[in-house]
A and B are shown apart, each in its own frame.
Chain A
Amino acid sequence: MERMLQYTEAIREAADQEMERDESVLVFGLDVDDPKAIQGTAKGLLSKFGAERVFGTPLSEDAMTGAAIGMALAGLRPIHVHIRMDFLMLAMNQLVNVAAKSRYMFGGKVSIPMVVRSMIGKSWGQGAQHSQGLYSFFMHVPGLKVAAPTTPYDAKGCLIAAIRDDNPVMYVEHRILHFQKGPVPEALYTVPPGKARITAKGTDVTLVGISYMQVECLRAHHYLAETGIGAEVIDPIWLNPLDIETIVESVRKTGRLFVVDNGWTTCGASAEIAAQVVEALQGVRDIRVKRMGFASVTCPTTPPLEDLYYPNARTIAAAAHSMVNGASKEWMPEERKDLQSIEFKGPF
């Protein structure tokens, strides 16, 4: 029987196993050593590996990111943890000007093997500065890799791949995904950069769901099935390097690309994916393209407005339905309780 783990436990296990395997791996960040241990993702690491390898930091995102780079220059493999992606804005100089560029601007003489874990929040009024999915900032910059795993399986495999990567990796976690359970092998394995996964088969429309929006896309897949529409759902897993070929091949078949992002659409991951698919298929095949993401506003806290701010399975399904059947045939599925919780079943 497959072993089921929660997403947070998959992260914890990946760090634990890698730290056991490799003494150069360290974990630090605000509160990694407190009793909550970052939703449990660092639980037990302090007692097992000691305070030199697992430590909470001063509230100094800028300097601690710079320190992580310095450690990496010295051959360590730091994992720097941020409980909110929003706080990475305090570390942008080090991430963009140093981590991303050091290898290139020093002519290949150094490498920066570091992992930056950061979390995206949603709901319960977390609001403007606790909710942003800003990974497209990092996709923009040559020299940074970006992973946004959705499943517990990928959470473990991507983290191990990120730790072993000789380059800086931005590892993006959605707080709602933290509660997901799914099959996770105990043995070490990697989910390597640059390979997307088709998570549901279909021939009518290609749904690309990023991070938590992958879950909403899988729900939308079920809603759409009610109307006879086959949605192929793709999880990019890694946003840089991006496996555009898998997406292009799917759109070549379906003729319709619908990217649902866990961020704003303007200059976002959805814009990049759409542009690359159009570049690949223009003149080859007639395609239709649609994007959905956060509303182009600051995230509000009151529930009625917050609900409108985010795409959800029903709004995604309705938009996909319009793409396939035309906007004149408006349709919005009834809420289905059985789709509220989608567990990840594999196989992977």
Chain B
Amino acid sequence: MYEKFYRSLYRIRRVEERIAEVYPTDKIKSPVHLSIGQEAVSVGVCEALRPDDVVFGTYRSHALFLAKGGNLKAMIAELYGKATGAARGKGGSMHLIDLEAGVLGTSAVVGTTIPNAVGYAYAIKYRRENRLVVSFLGDGGTDEGVFQESLNFAALKKLPIIFICENNGYAIHTHQRLRHPALNICERARVVGMPAERIEDNDTIRIFERVKNAVDLIANGAIGPHFLECMTYRWKEHVGPNEDYQLGYRSKDEAEPWIRNDQVIKIGALLGEKEKRAIEDAVDAEIADAFACADADPFPEESELFTDVFK
């Protein structure tokens, strides 16, 4: 189990670091919202899911896309704007999709995919399928009215859905304290009768266990939706490859405990040195290949401008 966790965590971290390295070359013509520091949430959640469960994400979904099994080559090619990209180069970093892996799409407008996930869960229930949806949202997403509307409907219809609030504390540069009168996002789920809990420590294994519990409950028909608030921390700037502690809206001191709790290191430490190295070598080679392919792949034909407006 730890091998799988580590492989996924390390892979996401290295992909994001590689994106940050390449970014100054301007080969990636797409805003990137890096997941560094938040990998544990996506990995913990997705390791608890079954292959045919589906996820909906936010604009910060590189980690989610990869953790759910999204195609790495297609993701990098998408960032490079290539025809081989996940969305044929027409979506970019904020609109990643991989239907085969169950990544149903991510969105640039905050809160937007929450009701889409709910509707998908309605379809699953309507068809009596034994699978579920996970809706990833940020703490910023909970500010939007559609968040409460969506939770209400999901609870009303007892839908097979798990809401994962990745609370990294900030909506761009504004802390939750400046947006909410109380730090009680879970209460907003409880008010519609939804079981909700907060996981404080960005711990991959704890997140995995709590999600697995919810998945099992839903699979056995015991409850409808479930809500988890996962406290986490974004190490890089809101958008872009750099750090931003110099801006002054947050301090490096605030980040330090999260960085000391680096899940890539912590889970890695549970492995033997040899197996750890083998995983890293394989992942490094895969990433190098993905970036090389993206670089070499062709851009879309000019005629692609007009395709796929309508089916």
Q: Does B281 contact A (CB under 8 A)?
A: no
Which A residues are CB-close (under 8 A) to B120? 70-71, 73-74
Select B87's contact among A26, A52, A106, A145, beta carbons within 8 Å.
A106
**A64 vs B118: C-alpha distance when bound (angstroms):** 9
B104 contacts A by Cβ under 8 Å: yes
Size of chain B's interface in residues, with CB distance under 8 A?
A: 41
For residue A240, which residue of chain B has the nearest CB? Answer: B310
Which residues on the B side are within 8 Å of A71 (C-beta)? 119-120, 122-123
* A66 with B119: CB separation less than 8 A: yes
B308 touches A65 (CB 8 A): no
A57 partner residues in chain B, CB cutoff 8 A: 153
Tell me whether B116 and A52 are in contact (CB under 8 A).
no
A143 CA to B119 CA, complexed, in Å: 20
B153 and A70 contacting across the interface, CB-CB below 8 Å? no
Chain B residues with CB under 8 Å of A68's CB are 119
Q: Which of B99, B146, B307 contacts A66 (CB 8 A)?
A: B146
Interfacial residues of chain A within 27-66, with CB under 8 A of chain B in the complex: 52-53, 57-58, 60, 62-66
- Known A-B contacts A73-B104, A97-B112, A106-B91; A63 and B308 likewise in contact (beta carbons under 8 Å): no
Q: Which residues of B contact A228 (CB under 8 A)?
A: none
Shortest Cβ distance from A65 into B: residue: B115
A91 CB to nearest chain B CB (Å): 10
Q: Which of A68-119 contact B (CB under 8 A)?
A: 68-76, 78, 93-94, 97-98, 102-111
Q: Give the shortest distance, in Å, between A275 (CB) and chain B (any CB).
A: 20
Question: Do B119 and A69 touch across chains, with their CB atoms under 8 A apart?
Answer: yes
State in angstroms the CA–CA spacing of A65 and B149 once bound together. 11
Q: Give the interface size bracket for A toward B.
A: 35 or more
Against A, the Cβ 8 Å flags (1 = close, 0 = not) of B116-130 are 111111111010000
| Segment 80-133 of B: residues with Cβ below 8 Å from A | 85-91, 95, 97, 99, 104-105, 107, 109, 112-124, 126
Residues of B within 8 A of A102 (CB): 105
A107 in contact with B119 (CB, 8 Å): no
In the complex, whether B150 has a CB less than 8 A from a CB of chain A is yes
CA distance A201 to B88 in the complex (A): 48
A98 to chain B, nearest CB (A): 6
Residues in A with CB closer than 8 Å to B124 are 74
CB A259 to nearest CB in B, in angstroms, measures: 25
Check if B152 sits within 8 Å of A60, measured CB to CB: yes
A93 to B114, CA, bound (A): 12
A63 to B146, CA, bound (A): 5
Q: Is B269 an interface residue (CB 8 A)?
A: no
In the assembly, what is the distance between CA of A110 and CA of B120, in Å? 13
In the bound complex, do residue A66 and residue B114 qualify as a contact, i.e. CB atoms below 8 Å apart? yes
- CA A103 to CA B97, docked complex, whole Å: 11
Query: Does A142 have its Cβ within 8 Å of any Cβ on chain B?
Result: yes
Task: Say yes or no: A76-B126 contact (C-beta < 8 A), given A62-B145, A105-B90.
Answer: yes
On B, residues with C-beta under 8 Å from A are 56, 85-91, 95, 97, 99, 104-105, 107, 109, 112-124, 126, 145-146, 149-150, 152-153, 156, 307-311
Q: What 7 pairs across the A-B complex have the smallest Cβ distances? A: A70-B119, A66-B115, A107-B88, A63-B149, A74-B123, A67-B119, A107-B87
- A sample of 17 cross-chain residue pairs with beta-carbon separation below 8 angstroms, ordered by A number, consists of A57-B153, A60-B152, A62-B145, A66-B118, A67-B119, A67-B153, A72-B119, A74-B123, A76-B126, A93-B112, A93-B146, A103-B310, A104-B90, A105-B90, A107-B88, A107-B90, A107-B308
